Amino acid sequence: MRIRSALFAPWAVLTVLALTACGPQGGDGSDYPSQNVELLVGFAAGGHNDATARKFAEGLEAELDANVLVVNREGGGGAIAATEAANAAADGHTLLFAPTGAFTSVLLQQDVSYGIEDFRSVEAVAENAFVIVVPDDSPLESFEDLEGVDDRMTYSAFGEGHQTHLIGEGIVQSYGLDAEVATFPGGAPALPALVNGDVDWGVQDITSALPRVRSGELRILAISTDYVPEALDEEVPTLGELGFEELQTAGSQALVVPADTPQEVYDELAAASTAVVGSDEFVEFVEQSGGAVPDVEGEAWFGEYMPTELERFRSLFEDLGLEAQ
């Protein structure tokens, strides 16, 4: 083995010199990934976005043969993480686990300086329902019981402009409730307030709510999607069935990168992400968490899905009288 190395050493030197003469390598992403990859998550640990991002990152590590570190940048309904990702180097080493709420929240936040044009979607990863929940000892036995409440109430949501805020405010205004929103940086931070009765009811992602529902600490009054996930082993009315078709929505998450990311890097990420999301292990994880894998192509998430959602949310915000703060 040593003799072979000695015989080939001159050729190795010539190869190195030839590569050096060609100038710096990897500017087009040909050496990607060349360092740890960070996956930014806009919500606190423990909720749907965080749990799904961590499972996705686990698979992405194997596909890229590189460390993928999940970094929580909670706040602003996902806007803080999205802002950081928009300003990051477009080299594929800073990725965003983008939730719908990070872009609908832009409509109500004057200090947000990014938009969908600053990103390119790589892969639609998961979607989740939201559930309207109450503490187990709440006097509210059904969703319809909300309509008759005269006392001042507080409900929980994940930030100004987030889908949970839209759903909550739509219910409040439709039923003429005297209620205010208490915002939290994700599902996990909101749970103690719900379980302890610090808020009267809340709009929660199904992933973080399910364990507390199964333990008997929370009860579900309604679900935001037009379907009930198999993981929810009980009959629950949908918002559409209750007369709130316009509020029906699902949280959707995609892997996105800055818009000017090199095509070679984008292609490698797309191939790796498709392999992860299409794996039986990942699909089973998402479904057991009460979610689903979206039927949306990667490029279409920003190309078609999000523009449609933004227009829908803009119209709903106007109808509800919600304006940028």
Q: What is the pTM of this model?
A: 0.82
pLDDT of residue 325: 55
Determine the length of the chain: 325
Note whether 55 and 282 are within 8 A (CB). yes
| The domain made up of 130-247 is a member of CATH 3.40.50.1370 | no
* Residue 109 pLDDT level (bands cut at 50, 70, 90): low
pLDDT of residue 259: 96
What lies within 8 Å, CB to CB, of 296 at 6+ separation is 124, 252, 304, 305
Q: Which residue has the higher pLDDT, 212 or 323?
A: 212
The percentage of residues in the chain with a pLDDT greater than 90, rounded to a whole number, is: 71
pLDDT tens column, 121-169? 999 999 999 999 999 999 999 999 999 899 999 999 988 788 899 999 9
Domain edges within the chain: 37-128+250-320, 130-247
What tokens were used for 220?
């579900």
The Cα 222–Cα 143 span in angstroms is 7
pLDDT tens column, 206-260? 999 999 999 999 999 999 999 999 898 889 999 999 999 999 999 999 999 999 9
The CATH number corresponding to 37-128+250-320 among 1.10.10.2840, 3.20.20.80, 3.40.50.970, 3.40.190.150 equals: 3.40.190.150
Note whether 255 and 19 are within 8 A (CB). no
180 closest CA partner among 156, 198, 197: 156
Note whether 101 and 77 are within 8 A (CB). yes
Phi, psi of 94 (to 5 degrees): -125, 110
The Cα 294–Cα 284 span in angstroms is 14
Average of per-residue pLDDT across 180-205: 94
Cα 109 to chain centroid, rounded: 18
pLDDT tens column, 98-108? 998 888 877 77
What mean pLDDT value characterizes the chain?
88
Note whether 41 and 73 are within 8 A (CB). yes
Does 130-247 match 37-128+250-320 at the fold level?
A: yes
What lies within 8 Å, CB to CB, of 27 at 6+ separation is none
